[in-house]
A and B are shown apart, each in its own frame.
Chain A
Amino acid sequence: MGPALDFLTLLPYVSELLKGLTTTVVLTVVTTLTGLALAVAVAYLRINAQPWVRWGLGGYVEVTRNTPFIVQLFFIFFGLPGLGIKIDAITAAFIAMTLNLAAYSAEILRAGISATAKGQLEAGRALGMTTLQSYRHIVLVPAFARVYPALISQSIIVMLGSAVVSQISVFDLTYAANFIQSRNFRSFEVYLLITLVYLLLAFGMRRSFMLVGKRVFAYQQGEQR
């Protein structure tokens, strides 16, 4: 018979847990915003730019989607300094997460954008909208609304995947878990608690995304359902 579970041994480590939680939340919020912004740019350029730009961005998207996140992270953190580009762990985590989310989201957005008929854009121009206005209102926002659920899931996947940044010593939730279990030797309790926290984060993220979506895409609801 093994030892019983004892969660009280975690009490002295509340500050570490909070520190890890803060890092994970901040990293997630920031990279979700930068990642989605970059995704819009990549999706736009993959449709409208010069062939060589499209080709290059296609390469970036495919390489990112077909290699593990941990390898991307190691390449950025350990590999780039070999070229003389020195970055600290948290910056590497930020770059890796942003590039990862952007590659997946750009593909999702591209599907949403190509669902918009060309004629609509021309109609917008004919109504006197500028190119930027018509692109924004006719193509981009409806495309976003259309693929919003997929973007939510992808952002959550990146948040869950961020557990790996602990491996380059970023003090995130997982790092906190590893730190605590190395002190109190209660690995199972620690990881169980942290897993629960991730589950709540994923749940909370989905809820807040949906709340934001309800407001931002309010006028699209009719078209959606």
Chain B
Amino acid sequence: MIEFTFWDILRNLLLATRWTIVLSLIAFVGGATVGLLLTFMRLSSNRWLQRLTSLYVDLFQGTPLLMQLFLIFFGAAAMGHPISAWLAASIALTLFTSAFLCDIWRGCLEAVAKGQWHAARVLGMNYFQTMRHVILPQALRLSIPPTVGFSVQVIKGTALASIIGFVELTKAGTMLNNATFEPFTIFALVALLYFALCYPLSCYARYLEKKLYDAGLR
């Protein structure tokens, strides 16, 4: 049997943390892209597009992320196209992130007072000009703190990929635990590593939020 020292455990966990970070980045970038599309679909004047988008958001917000993961992982296999845990986790987390970001961003766009829309249109700006010069710059400022805050949820969400067998931080923790039987140390370290990833983001989100508040925008 191989003996694991504390440093072996820590080194292995740190190596696995890379995959947590990579998966988080994929989910966040993918989710932001899809989320942006959804936000504009949601704001379009087509009522069916609006309904479809809110249904999408409600479905992803009203079901467990674990089920979304299972449905994609096992669903793809059931359709005759088995995919890797890696791909399944990336897709599920991207869709999950896009639904939440769409909801956050829609709120920010709607938070810009309606009167400004009307004012810009009266001044002769068309839809895109209004969006580009009046609404978006303001909505963008409002959206940054909650978006940074949500990135913490994305990082924590990647922990569920461990359940379908993707070896990231949590899975590495359970594997090391099976080899060493030191659950207390290992899961404390795993928690600490997640904390080290998430806490700075949480603090940064809070700082940004406070800055907006002080600027009188909230």
Contacts and interface: CB of A to CB of B under 8 A. Distances in A.
A63 B195 CA distance: 7
Nearest to A185: B78
A25 interface: no
B17 to A, nearest CB: 13
Contact of A71 (B59, B64, B157, B173): B173
B77 interface: yes
User: Among A71, A81, A198, which residue has the most Cβ atoms of chain B within 10 A?
Assistant: A71
A66 B200 CA distance: 9
Nearest to A70: B159
A80 B170 contact: no
Given A67-B198, A163-B66, A191-B67, A82 B184 contact: yes
B71 interface: yes
Interface string A165-185: 001000000100100010000
Interface residues of A, number: 41
Interface string A181-214: 1000001100110110011001100000000000
Given A75-B191, A161-B64, A188 B75 contact: yes
Interface residues of B, number: 41
B185 to A, nearest CB: 8
Contact of B80 (A1, A156, A202): A1
A79 interface: yes
Interface in A1-15: 1-3
A86 interface: no
Nearest to B62: A202
Contacts of A68: 156-157, 159-160, 170, 194
Nearest to B156: A68
A164 B66 contact: yes
A66 to B, nearest CB: 4
B187 A83 contact: no
B50 to A, nearest CB: 20
Given A2-B80, A160-B63, A160-B64, A70 B198 contact: no
A2 B79 contact: yes
Contact of A188 (B64, B74, B187): B74
21 contacts: A1-B80, A65-B202, A66-B156, A66-B194, A68-B160, A71-B187, A74-B173, A74-B187, A75-B184, A78-B177, A78-B183, A82-B185, A160-B64, A162-B64, A163-B66, A181-B74, A188-B77, A191-B67, A191-B71, A192-B71, A195-B67
